[in-house]
Structure 1
Amino acid sequence: MSKGDMATETQVAGRAARPIPVSVGVTGVVGFSCLLAVISRDVRESGPSAGTSGLALITVAVLLTLQILVSRRYGDAPPALTAGTALAAQAVLVEALTLTDGLSVASIMYLALPFPVVFWVGGRAGVWAGAAILAWFTLRFTWHKPAWLTDPASMNAFTLFVIAVVLVTATALLIRREQASRQRAETLLHDLGASHRQLIESQSRVAELATIEERNRLARDIHDSLGQHLTVISVQLEKAQLLVEADQGAAAVAVGNAKRLADQALSDVRDSVRALRKDEAPFVLGPALESLVADLQVLPFELDLKLTGDEQRYSGQQLLALYRAAQEGLTNVQRHARASRVRLEVDLGTDAASLTLDDDGIGPPIDPGNGLRGIRERLELVSGRLQLSVAPGGGTRLSVSVPRTTTGKR
């Protein structure tokens, strides 16, 4: 079932289950009371009066029909023209009934008018309607009974009518206000439910993005760590193949270096697996760079390391980004640069950390590979930047800068 079908069914069910409007209920009660009063009066005083009783029945029936039709079609918010036409028709019917009755017991029907005005037009209009009913009734009462101010019975009837109109109008206003408050509460509850669903969806998306980011991090770690070790192992084994017959001692040294690096690669893989199961230990840049340089001493180029500054100014993520940049840069030197001398300088300054890797090889690559793209992604996470350029005197310069955070390390 589509969402549109579900919404349609909900609307149909809502219309079918809509309760009887308050104005219809009040009109029914007032009309029934008026009918009883008219019939009782006519039977008691002069026998059945089909004219007055019939008109009262027709008036009540038409009022109820109009209010039910308008409420079923528009609820409590009919168009202004529809509301005005229906209210005018009801007022004319009530007025015709009171004229026929001689402004006697049928005046009860005036009490049926404030409710539809309040619910269809508004509270302020309902107050004005109540005031207009009282003013009009006072004029007609004075016309029909000029001496009513000195007649206790007429005075009591007038007072009761005024109190009834005020109470009915006030009750309509209170009920309308209560309904408006309930509708606002339902709207807020619906909005709260929608916000809750959006929050759950957002949490799901955040969890999914965190999972993707963790996968990307592992991919970078595998590439940067395992890839670098395997590159050196490959170089050492190629060297061993070339020297196995000419210089068995040198070949044995190359094989030993390859074995040591293979053990280091296996250790890095185990570290990555442990990182998936528990929190990693704090990363320390200095020893990590020294170990990296020591592993590369077996390669056919001179490698110098200079590290200055205080690691405590930087977070573990920032330091790891610098280390991976150095690792990837040295891996590229091994693979492509054909360099004889390499210099790595890292400065952990007070405002920013910088890493510079210079070699005297063939120059920057035309199309950087996946490794450098991974380093750029890693640096973006710590607001860092990477730049490749030509080193002084030829070769390649890899420059990295990472701004210091206010939180410091850990």
Structure 2
Amino acid sequence: MAASSPPTPITGVSRPMPWVPPTVYAVVLLGGLYGGVIAPGPVRALRLAGFAGCLLLLIALDRREVRRHPVRTPPRQAVPLLIGRLALFAAAAGLDRSGVSRALFVLVPLTAFVAFGRRAGVLLSAVCVGVILLGNVLWVPGWYLRTDIVTDLLMSGLGLALAVVMASIAVGEQASRVRLADTLSELRDSHERLAEYATRVEQLSVARERNRLAREFHDGLGHHLTAIAIQLEKAAVFRDRDAPVAERAIADARWSADRALDEVRASVRALRDEDEAFSLSTALAELVRHVDGGPARVTLDVSGEERGFHLESLTALYRAAQEGLTNAHRHADARHVAVSARYGEREARLVIADDGRGFAPGADLGDRPPGTGDGFGLRAMRERVDLLGGRVEVDAAPGRGTVVTVTVPRVPVAVGAASR
């Protein structure tokens, strides 16, 4: 049985009423010595010494037990200890001439209650009362006619009952302290786990914010800087051949620089949690208008109703359009790029198709040869769309161009879960 093994001591929890047995022993010892000295007749020193030895042995036994088991004595060890105490109680009562040693038997139900539980304490109390009554019946003729005997019997029963009540209260209080100690321990563990989780969440939040900023800078500033470089190269080529075309290229480069500055301001506003009205259809039309007229012809087709789509979903599609047009200009050598946006009831879809050189299906954009790009754009696009619960599909083949399809939900997954 689990109760047979010594329980693990709990910090802050002690044995119920540890002061009661030593107090009773001390009172009985003083009372017995005093009664032996003042009693009529010769005082037998050996009898008093034996009585005092029994009480001192009981005190030493109790102190040793409390040191070894500060909370509760295991039942297997409590049984021989209880028997030993009963023997010492009987010896002290036999050597005591004053009769005060009978108070020792009040500790029997108290000890049994603490070690074995309520039933054992009540049972031993009844046994003690029965033994006292039986002793009077057998050895005291006419005991029921003697007031002192009846009074002593009643007081003994009352003392035993009070001992059981006190033990019940003390054990209940101890159980409450044990539960409180367990609760405090669980709270400490929970606090440590919460602190650990908070640290992890903070680390993940920092990593996520870094990735978001990296995507924003790449998709925003990277696109516009690429556009500026292309337009400046175009202006340099047409400077002597066709001045209007060169001026147009410089104007487009200036527009891209302004847009880059707007992207920086928008990022700062996002860090400050300042929302801004955004129209994907308008942004795509403006983007295509300034990109068109370069090496590749760019067309735009928009259908459906944009209203009701979350800002993050629309922003993801705009970033995908920027990345797709940048790749078509920088890597695909495309002559025509078609951009189409479709707003449905539950999701929006953006398709960027070019007739450039394409790439092998297994190569992906991250496996380009040196000097052709690092592939971060497509990875950032996938990360951004995956966080929203959308998907990115790339269909490409060498010499047959590239088609990038981006689909996002009307409401991002994280936002939808939070709203529920």
TM-score strictly above 0.5: yes
3-state SS of the aligned residue for 2:278? coil
Q: Does 1:37 align with 2:27?
A: no
> How far apart are the structure 1 equivalents of 2:47 and 2:165?
30
> How far apart are the structure 2 equivalents of 1:150 and 1:282?
104
Alignment of 1:162-201 (within 5 A): 162-201=157-196
> How far apart are the structure 2 equivalents of 1:24 and 1:246?
107
> How far apart are the structure 2 equivalents of 1:168 and 1:122?
13
> How far apart are the structure 1 equivalents of 2:265 and 2:196?
35
Residue by residue over 1:106-146, the C-alpha shift from the partner in whole angstroms, topping out at 9 and shown as x without a partner, is 21111123333333333333233323322333333332324
2:111 to 116, 127, 130: 116
Are the equivalent residues in 2 in contact too, given 1:364–1:397 (CA < 8 A)?
no
Q: Which residue of 1 aligns with 2:311?
A: 316
Q: Which residue of 2 aligns with 1:387?
A: 393
Alignment of 1:225-374 (within 5 A): 225-364=220-359, 366-368=363-365, 369-374=375-380
Shift in alpha-carbon separation, 1:340–1:349, aligned structure 2, 3 A? same
TM-score (norm 2): 0.85
Are the equivalent residues in 2 in contact too, given 1:103–1:141 (CA < 8 A)?
no
Q: Which residue of 1 aligns with 2:55?
A: 60
> How far apart are the structure 2 equivalents of 1:87 and 1:49?
29
Q: Which amino acid aligns with 2:223?
A: Q
3-state SS of the aligned residue for 2:388? coil
Q: How much has 1:101 moved relative to structure 2? A: 4.3
Shift in alpha-carbon separation, 1:312–1:257, aligned structure 2, 3 A? closer
3-state SS of the aligned residue for 1:399? strand
Q: Does 1:25 align with 2:19?
A: yes
> How far apart are the structure 2 equivalents of 1:329 and 1:146?
115
Q: Which amino acid aligns with 2:382?
A: R
Are the equivalent residues in 1 in contact too, given 2:24–2:104 (CA < 8 A)?
yes
Q: Which amino acid aligns with 1:372?
A: L
> How far apart are the structure 2 equivalents of 1:318 and 1:260?
25
Are the equivalent residues in 2 in contact too, given 1:309–1:348 (CA < 8 A)?
yes
Shift in alpha-carbon separation, 1:308–1:67, aligned structure 2, 3 A? farther
3-state SS of the aligned residue for 1:37? helix
Q: Which amino acid aligns with 2:402?
A: T
> How far apart are the structure 2 equivalents of 1:283 and 1:91?
90
Q: Which residue of 2 aligns with 1:214?
A: 209
Q: How much has 1:272 moved relative to structure 2? A: 1.6
Q: How much has 1:56 moved relative to structure 2? A: 2.8
Q: How much has 1:240 moved relative to structure 2? A: 2.6
- Of 42-51 and 80-89, the range deviating more from structure 2: 42-51
Shift in alpha-carbon separation, 1:317–1:47, aligned structure 2, 3 A? farther
Q: How much has 1:346 moved relative to structure 2? A: 1.5
Shift in alpha-carbon separation, 1:166–1:259, aligned structure 2, 3 A? same
- Of all paired residues, the percent bearing the same amino acid is 34
3-state SS of the aligned residue for 1:135? helix
3-state SS of the aligned residue for 1:381? helix
> How far apart are the structure 2 equivalents of 1:229 and 1:370?
16
Residue by residue over 1:238-275, the C-alpha shift from the partner in whole angstroms, topping out at 9 and shown as x without a partner, is 22333334444433332332222122212222222233
> How far apart are the structure 1 equivalents of 2:198 and 2:378?
32
Q: How much has 1:71 moved relative to structure 2? A: 1.5
Q: Which amino acid aligns with 2:400?
A: G
Are the equivalent residues in 2 in contact too, given 1:385–1:402 (CA < 8 A)?
yes
Are the equivalent residues in 2 in contact too, given 1:110–1:133 (CA < 8 A)?
yes
3-state SS of the aligned residue for 1:299? coil
Q: Which amino acid aligns with 1:404?
A: R
Are the equivalent residues in 1 in contact too, given 2:342–2:348 (CA < 8 A)?
yes
Q: Which residue of 2 aligns with 1:139?
A: 134
Q: Which residue of 1 aligns with 2:368?
A: none
Q: Which amino acid aligns with 1:134?
A: V
3-state SS of the aligned residue for 2:104? helix
Q: Which residue of 1 aligns with 2:404?
A: 398
> How far apart are the structure 1 equivalents of 2:400 and 2:199?
50
Are the equivalent residues in 1 in contact too, given 2:48–2:96 (CA < 8 A)?
no
Q: Which residue of 1 aligns with 2:71?
A: 76
Are the equivalent residues in 1 in contact too, given 2:16–2:71 (CA < 8 A)?
no
3-state SS of the aligned residue for 1:45? coil
Q: How much has 1:293 moved relative to structure 2? A: 1.0
3-state SS of the aligned residue for 1:305? strand
Shift in alpha-carbon separation, 1:18–1:177, aligned structure 2, 3 A? closer
Q: Which amino acid aligns with 1:358?
A: A
TM-score (norm 1): 0.86
Structure 1 residues without counterparts, runs of 5 or longer: 1-10
2:93 to 89, 98, 102: 98
Q: How much has 1:304 moved relative to structure 2? A: 1.8
Q: Which residue of 2 aligns with 1:3?
A: none
Matched positions, count: 396
Shift in alpha-carbon separation, 1:103–1:159, aligned structure 2, 3 A? farther
